[in-house]
Amino acid sequence: MDILIKAGQLILSLSILVVLHEFGHFFFAKLFKTRVEKFYLFFDPWFSLFKFKKGDTEYGVGWLPLGGYVKISGMIDESMDKEAMAEPPKDYEFRSKPAYQRLLIMVGGVLVNFLLAFFIFWMILFKWGESHIDVNDAKFGLDFHPIAKEIGLLDGDIVTSVDTHKVVTSKDIASLLILEDAKQLTVNRNGEVLTIDIPEGFGKRIIGEEVRSLAELRFPFVVDSVLPKGNAIDAGLQKGDSIVTINGEDASFFREATAIIESNKGKRVTIAFVRNNEPMETRCAVSDDGKIGIGPKVNDYFNVTSVKYGFWEALPAGINKGVNTLVGYVKQLKLVFSKEGVSQLGGFGAIGNMFPPTWNWYSFWSLTGFLSIVLAFMNILPIPALDGGHVLFLLYEIITGRKPSDKFLEYAQTAGMLLLLALLLFANGNDIFRAIFK
């Protein structure tokens, strides 16, 4: 069921993004009286799931969910319609339009995706606002992944800055280490401020070792909920129990406890806890996925900083969020050219796993806004077969006054399509490899 929910969110999100992206091309094409032969969600080799024709345009839904397209008359695109291009240009064709009009037609999709992302972030902030837990409000400090402890961090430390970048939430630490090529951490340890040097390449190591959470808020492990059909209820654990040790190891804080439990998958553990000031002990089975069926008390230990926005107040905040998302994504691209970054490239499986296993509109729209930024930026890259490739050749024409030959554009389109196909196969192959070998 989790897979179906994630897949449903992925398909809906990409469908929204693809349709609106192609509408951007469609809008400018119609504005400049350029004929659009097809407008499709998903690709339709050999047959389509649904189609109808209105005016000169055939609208439809293909069966291959790898994107979508608009087929514009007189344009060398993925259709590679060489016969039509061999005929004399017609007034309604793309190739007959002035260069500036062709440029606007090509950037239309990217423009719509950027505007859509800003609109989504605007509406998210208006509807839900923003909330976070500041690291300085973490009275028990932070818990750290083992590789963070290797450079000198200790559970209970609070990282206040990475180089000159202020740390606001625990998630900022890893992202700053990865994106900013940082050299030093400033740490508050029991009221004492100290600095820790960061080894060279530590950010790449975080990626290479697939560290999902470098630092988390530290809090005592007090049971807040017990699943009705879990192992914990069979062991007699109750809401309000304070975990002390598991198999004799200190487990008074949540992350320490979960690490011990996960290391005993499929086994039984001895849990010592306190109930109503009375020390108690029980034996509990651990499931094969490293769970016992309890949830911790969290909210009582932290102050949540919340910001609410009015309708118009949320607009500049949404634009700022979109710009910051774009800047962060662009910074991540440098990692693609490293061994660690290449190994983490993913396709539709990786994107689908970004969505939560339960339907959540806040998460759905947040991820859709992010993917809209990604789609816009990736499409504007100067790679033949992408919008950016067409834009590059059009800018060359505008600057030099010389139009690249149709034969050159055909070769460039073919090369670009082969490159994109190779990247698609590699990224989705990575997904399959990770699924098989965990």
Fill in the DSSP letter of residue 191: T
**Are residues 307 and 179 in contact, defined by beta-carbon separation less than 8 angstroms?**
no
Report the pLDDT value the prediction gives residue 437, as an integer from 0 to 100: 66
**Are residues 39 and 70 in contact, defined by beta-carbon separation less than 8 angstroms?**
yes
Residue 268 pairs in a beta bridge with: 285
Report the pLDDT value the prediction gives residue 108, as an integer from 0 to 100: 93
Report the pLDDT value the prediction gives residue 422, as an integer from 0 to 100: 78
CA angle 346, 350, 355 (to 5 degrees): 155
Cα gap 326→226, rounded to integer Å: 41
Q: Report residues of the chain scoring pLDDT below 70.
A: 1, 77-86, 335-348, 427-428, 430-431, 434-435, 437-438
Report the pLDDT value the prediction gives residue 338, as an integer from 0 to 100: 64
Number of Cβ within a 10 Å radius of residue 320? 13
Cα gap 40→59, rounded to integer Å: 6
Cα gap 50→69, rounded to integer Å: 15
Question: Tokens 């306190």 identify what position?
Answer: 274
**Full-model pTM:** 0.82
Cα gap 232→226, rounded to integer Å: 7
**How far from each other are the two terminal CA atoms of the chain, in whole angstroms?**
20
Report the pLDDT value the prediction gives residue 293, as an integer from 0 to 100: 86
Phi then psi dihedrals of residue 392, to 5 deg: -60, -45
Cα gap 101→95, rounded to integer Å: 10
**Are residues 65 and 347 in contact, defined by beta-carbon separation less than 8 angstroms?**
no
Q: Is 27 exposed, middle or buried (0-12, 13-18, 19+ CB in 10 A)?
A: middle
Report the pLDDT value the prediction gives residue 301, as an integer from 0 to 100: 80
**Are residues 94 and 102 in contact, defined by beta-carbon separation less than 8 angstroms?**
yes
Cα gap 142→188, rounded to integer Å: 11
Domains of the chain (ranges; CATH) run 2-17+31-38+72-125+366-437 (no CATH), 135-217 (2.30.42), 223-297 (2.30.42.10)
Question: Tokens 């032969």 identify what position?
Answer: 37
Query: In Å, what is the CA distance from 203 to each residue of 13, 161, 175, 199, 233?
Result: 30, 15, 9, 9, 41
| Tokens matching residue 428 | 């989705």
Cα gap 25→67, rounded to integer Å: 14
Number of Cβ within a 10 Å radius of residue 271? 26
Question: Tokens 């010389």 identify what position?
Answer: 402
